[in-house]
Amino acid sequence: MLLLQQQNRFQIMNATIDISYNQLLLLLQQMPVRAQLRLGKALTNQSIRAELDYFLDVFRTNEISEEDILAEVKAVRHERYALCS
């Protein structure tokens, strides 16, 4: 998607180009350092979200309910309280 600004108006255009990794890298190296840093941060955030989504999907289970978890927490707290008294 390409965003063009003309006289304080924005027009969105879809464009597709085929470039290699090295061509993209050379293009990005021509950007100002601050823009490179913003892009790096955006890509890092995107990859962190993707990794988190992956792990949530991998470990998602319907085998234990929230009520079961709360009951176990209460039982452990009760045992610890009894040991401390």
Confidence at residue 37, expressed as pLDDT on a 0 to 100 scale: 95
What single string gives the DSSP state of each residue in 33-48?
HHHHHHHHHHHHHHHH
Is the confidence at residue 85, as pLDDT, over 90? no
Read off the pLDDT of residues 4-44 as tens digits, 9 standing for 90 and up: 555 566 666 777 888 999 999 999 999 999 999 999 999 99
With cut-offs at 50, 70 and 90, classify the pLDDT of residue 2. Answer: low
Distance CA 1, CA 6 (A): 16
Q: Which residues share a beta bridge with 2?
A: 13
Per-chain mean pLDDT for the chain: 85
- Residue identified by tokens 């209460």 is 74
**What secondary structure letter does DSSP report for 8?**
T
Give pTM, 2 decimals. Answer: 0.50
Q: Which residues share a beta bridge with 12?
A: 3
Distance CA 22, CA 28 (A): 10
Confidence at residue 6, expressed as pLDDT on a 0 to 100 scale: 55
